[in-house]
Amino acid sequence: MKTLKTLLFACLLLALPIEGTQAVELMHSVGGTAVGGGNFSAKPDGLSGPSDDGIGFRGNAGGWAYGGGLTYELRVGNIGALEIDFLYETSVLQRYVTVNGVDFTEKISAGLLRIPILFKLNVPVGVGRFNFGVGPEFTVPMNSEGSVDSDYPNFTLSNQIEAEEVNSTLVTIELGLNFDLGSNLELGWKLRGGYNTSQPSEISERVTYSGSSYSVKTQNTWDFRMLLGVNYLIPQPTE
């Protein structure tokens, strides 16, 4: 969180007007966006072998996410920009497991606050602008739960699953298009991919066993998201 506070402070300093310079025009935009996409957690290290594939997210897992929130962008001339989003999403990660011939689905889900801080390069095109962005993205779980379900009637697994809430820091890359709608409005379409730099690779660090229960960290290895939103370009004051 210290890193996040430092980056936010630096962003605020960039947004302040610089007295005595007219070299670069600063513009601000605000808006709302919807987000959806997929999650992927890679097979952990430290397994005993190919047959070590039981419960406890001991292999590849996948899932989905959806949500939305607010976005702010500081544009530096026509080329550069800094974007900060405050997004809330419901995120699910699950895995199919067979135990003693019975199929189970182990799942963890969480409500996450996502705060990406992206440094962007804009390229004007005929209908608006194309952009490429990269930067850190912080995720903070607000709530979480785990479950193990089976389609077999009246059959339950003795092991109980819990979701451990942990913060993550990702390196996120964005490709996007902003379409000019007129009246200072833009339609933004973006694709993002984020790699989680804080997820441990060892199974012993991802999953903690205690008696008949086990706890799984609420982290993905990769996040893939598509965003669609509308931004309003704040008019600049005229002298």
List pLDDT tens digits, range 57-97: 999 999 999 999 999 999 998 889 999 999 999 999 999 98
Model pLDDT, residue 8? 47
Sheet holding 213-217, edge to edge: 160-164, 213-217, 207-210
Query: And the tokens for 52?
Result: 């070590």
Beta strand extents in the chain (DSSP E only): 26-41, 61-76, 80-99, 102-125, 128-149, 160-164, 168-182, 185-196, 207-210, 213-217, 222-233
pTM of the model: 0.85
